[in-house]
Amino acid sequence: MKPRIIPTVLTDGTSQVKGTEFNNWRTVGHVLSAVRVHSARDVDELVLLDVKATLQGRTIDRELVAEASKELRIPLTVGGGVSSVAGFAELLAAGADKIVIGTATGEAPEFISELASEFGSQAIVCSIDSIDDSRKSVCVRSGSVVKHIDPVALAIRSERLGAGELLVQNVSRDGKMGGMAFDLFSAVSKAVGIPVIGSSGAASAEDFIKAFDAGCSAVACGAALQFTDSTPNQIKAHLRKVGITVRH
Amino acid sequence: MIEILSFGLNNLSSVKNGLEAVGEKQVRIISEASQSQQPDLIILPGTGHFGAVTRELSSRGYSDLIDAAYSRGTSKIFGICLGFQLLFDTSDESPGEKGLGLVAGRVHKLSQHDGCQERVPRVGWAPILSNGAETVFHDALGSDVYFSHSYYAVPEAPQPHSLHSPHCKDKILVGFLGERIGGFQFHPERSSKAGLTLLATISKWSDSEA
């Protein structure tokens, strides 16, 4: 399969937001405007996450997902506060193709098995939110709770329980465009047979190249595609120069 | 008129929107067989789990609806993703469960044998290819389309207008179009422009006489 570049759009439930280290959220615009820009660029896929949902005891808004889905002719992956089979089903019916499971991945892993037997693994993306590069801990609940689990062990457990893909994030690198956790990507990719989406800290085409080399099937990218003049197509031009075959 | 069968578990609005975007004026979503109004085409969509969906096929009356429509030739049938797999006899995903059996063949798990770099589920963009024969899908050949699956169908006999896609050192069947039945393993409604081209071909097929 061709390596994918996936823009990430974050929301607090009302507006589009950006932050650093899963915190320091600031409003940067309207979610649907960002979705339209990415749609016009015909990106490989879009990730839309509600970063306040779990903390506020709700799920990402179904209407927002439906509106975003209507704008897109490419796959849509959404997440934020999904903790029930009914909630998962509602988001699929609203137009999501895949759903990110964050908190439950770390706290209630049996939920992943429940989802897999209902919906099949391919709709389930488990988020592994590593605190930093040390492989000692992960976080849940939008970064507010730390659990002392090795992210690689969490990745292996999630695959066994039925995850279809893994989204590997890194709190210390989030939002900073300072480079990605390539060693972590490599360790996770070697430990599982399912696709790994590397995230957090992508700044330049070099980061994408290194992430794919480390075994990622896709790279999810927020800040670099939001605050710099890089576009996915420009990044793809660089990838082609070094022999990586990408879509288009 | 096209009817899309709902199992209550999946995203149908994208398929409906895609068909409407290529000019289909009458696309309905139904949630049980009694709601069917003898459409030109029945679409069996879906993601999910083979076993979970075969139970729905039965409980919503869809198996009987489809069998009747197919044997009388009153509607054409088109399956997408899990719907494509349901056209066949059985699937490794749910041993003991039966698919519709409209195409002889079985659905197997995608393997990751030694030397194969591909991950499973097979998620992302890959090209559709023909076996060299003339195909109604000629204007989309070589384009990348979006896949999301862990199982693939192996028919007992070659299918008309077959589409294949690479997996490891093999090519797997990912689409075909017969006189009254067809399907795609990939998601045309999420495959950008190539997907719309393919939906337009299906739309035209649904209007033609069998």
pLDDT digits (tens, 9 = 90+) for A110-160: 999 999 988 999 999 999 999 999 999 999 998 899 999 999 999 999 999
The structure tokens listed for B58 are 């039965």
What's the mean per-residue pLDDT of chain A?
95
Q: Which candidate in B3, B81, B97, B149 is catalytic?
A: B81
Residues of B in contact with A195 (CB under 8 A): 119, 121, 123-124
Determine the residue among B125, B151, B185 to mutate to test chain A binding: the one whose Cβ has the most chain A Cβ atoms within 10 Å. Answer: B125
Please give the Cα distance from B190 to B144 (Å, whole number): 11
For every one of its 248 residues, what pLDDT tens digit does chain A have, with 9 covering 90 and above? 999 999 999 999 999 999 999 999 999 889 999 999 999 999 999 999 999 999 999 999 999 999 999 999 999 999 999 999 999 999 999 999 999 999 999 999 999 999 998 899 999 999 999 999 999 999 999 889 999 999 999 999 999 999 999 999 999 999 999 999 999 999 999 999 999 999 999 999 999 999 999 999 999 999 899 888 889 999 999 999 999 999 98
Of B43-57, B77-91, B158-172, least confident by mean pLDDT is B43-57
Q: Does residue B114 surpass a pLDDT of 70?
A: no
The number of residues in chain A equals 248
Residues of A in contact with B9 (CB under 8 A): 89, 92-93, 118-119
Comparing CB atoms, the residue among A69, A75, A218 nearest residue B146 is A75
Contact B112 A94 (CB under 8 A): no
Please give the Cα distance from B85 to B6 (Å, whole number): 16
Interface of B with A (CB under 8 A): 8-14, 17-18, 47-49, 52, 82, 93, 112, 118-126, 144, 146-150, 187, 189-193, 195-196
Comparing CB atoms, the residue among A70, A119, A122 nearest residue B123 is A122
ipTM: 0.95
pLDDT at B167 (0 to 100)? 94
For chain B, strand residue ranges (E) read: 2-5, 27-30, 41-44, 76-80, 90-91, 105-109, 122-127, 144-149, 151-155, 163-167, 170-177, 181-184
Q: What is the DSSP letter of B111?
A: P
**Residue A207 · residue A179 · CB < 8 Å:** yes
pLDDT at B131 (0 to 100)? 85
Percent of chain A at pLDDT above 90? Answer: 92
Which residue of chain B has the CA closest to A4? B124
Which residue of chain A has the CA closest to B11? A93
The number of residues in chain B equals 210
Contact B49 A120 (CB under 8 A): yes
Q: Does residue B127 surpass a pLDDT of 60?
A: yes
Contact B48 A44 (CB under 8 A): no
**Residues paired with residue A10 on neighbouring β-strands, in sequence order:** A17, A49
Comparing CB atoms, the residue among A1, A73, A117 nearest residue B192 is A73
Interface of A with B (CB under 8 A): 1-4, 42, 44, 66, 69-70, 72-75, 89, 92-98, 116-123, 164-165, 193-196, 217-218, 247-248
Distances (CA, A) of A64 to A18, A132, A235, B17, B201: 18, 31, 29, 17, 31
Q: How confident is the model at residue B169 (pLDDT cuts 50, 70, 90)?
A: confident
pLDDT at A1 (0 to 100)? 93
Q: Does residue B210 surpass a pLDDT of 70?
A: no
Q: CA quadruple B178, B183, B189, B193: dihedral positive or negative?
A: negative
Alpha helix (H) residue ranges in chain A: 31-40, 62-71, 85-94, 103-107, 110-119, 151-161, 182-191, 205-213, 223-227, 232-241
Residues of A in contact with B18 (CB under 8 A): 73
